[in-house]
Amino acid sequence: MSCDRRELPFVVGAYASQPQDPQGQATYFDLLADTGWVQGLEVPFPGQLRDEDSRDFLGGLMSGRFNRSVLTPIPGTMVSMWEDPSFGLASPDEKGRARAVEFLREVHHVLQQMHARYGHLFDYVALHSAPKNTCTPEAFAASIEEISGWDWGATQLVIEHCDEKTSTTDAEGLSPDGVVRTHEPEKGFLLLEDEIALARQFGLRVSLNWGRSAVGSRGAVVPNQHIAQAADAGVLAGVLFSGASPEETAYGPEWIDGHLPAATDEPASLMTEALIDEGAKLAVGACYLGAKCCVPKDATLEERVEMLSHIHRAAIAKPGR
Domain assignment of residue 269, yes or no: yes
Q: What is the pLDDT of residue 186?
A: 83
Query: How would residue 5 be classed by pLDDT, with cut points 50, 70 and 90?
Result: confident
Residue 69 has pLDDT above 50, yes or no: yes
> What are the counts of helices (DSSP H) followed by strands (DSSP E) for the chain?
11, 8
Residue 2 has pLDDT above 50, yes or no: no
pLDDT higher at 158 or 320? 158
Number of neighbouring beta carbons within 10 Å of residue 83? 8
Q: What is the pLDDT of residue 179?
A: 55
Domain assignment of residue 320, yes or no: no
What is the arithmetic mean of pLDDT over 69-86? 96
Domain assignment of residue 251, yes or no: yes
What is the arithmetic mean of pLDDT over 142-162? 97
Sign of CA dihedral 228, 230, 234, 237: negative
Per the CB < 8 A criterion, the answer to whether 117 and 59 are in contact is yes
For 156-201, what is each residue's pLDDT tens digit?
999 999 988 876 444 444 455 555 567 778 898 999 999 999 999 9
- Mean pLDDT, rounded, of the chain: 92
What is the arithmetic mean of pLDDT over 117-135? 96
203: CATH: 3.20.20.150
Per the CB < 8 A criterion, the answer to whether 207 and 238 are in contact is yes
- How many residues are recorded in the chain? 321
- DSSP helix/strand/coil, 201: helix
Per the CB < 8 A criterion, the answer to whether 50 and 41 are in contact is no
The percent of residues above 70 in pLDDT, for the chain, comes to 93
- Tell me how far apart the alpha carbons of residues 133 and 26 are, in angstroms, rounded to a whole number: 39
- Tell me how far apart the alpha carbons of residues 164 and 103 are, in angstroms, rounded to a whole number: 22
Domain assignment of residue 170, yes or no: yes
Q: What is the pLDDT of residue 120?
A: 97
For 21-64, what is each residue's pLDDT tens digit?
999 999 999 999 999 999 999 999 999 998 999 999 999 999 99
Q: What is the pLDDT of residue 320?
A: 37
Residue 110 has pLDDT above 80, yes or no: yes
Domain assignment of residue 233, yes or no: yes
Indicate the number of domains in the chain: 1
For 277-292, what is each residue's pLDDT tens digit?
999 999 999 999 999 9
For 223-258, what is each residue's pLDDT tens digit?
999 999 999 999 999 999 999 999 999 999 999 999
For 259-277, what is each residue's pLDDT tens digit?
999 999 999 999 999 999 9
- Burial category of 278 from C-beta neighbours within 10 Å (exposed 0-12, middle 13-18, buried 19 and up): middle
pLDDT higher at 164 or 103? 103
Domain assignment of residue 296, yes or no: yes
DSSP string, 91-135: -SSHHHHHHHHHHHHHHHHHHHHHHHHH---EEEEEE---STTT-
| Exposure b/e, 165-198, CB count within 10 A at least 16 = b | bbeeeeeebebbeeeebeeebbbbbbbbebbbbb
Q: What is the pLDDT of residue 40?
A: 98
Residue 150 has pLDDT above 50, yes or no: yes
Domain assignment of residue 256, yes or no: yes
Q: What is the pLDDT of residue 167?
A: 60
Q: What is the pLDDT of residue 178?
A: 55
Residue 149 has pLDDT above 80, yes or no: yes
Domain that holds residue 209: 5-315
What is the arithmetic mean of pLDDT over 202-213? 97
Domain assignment of residue 144, yes or no: yes
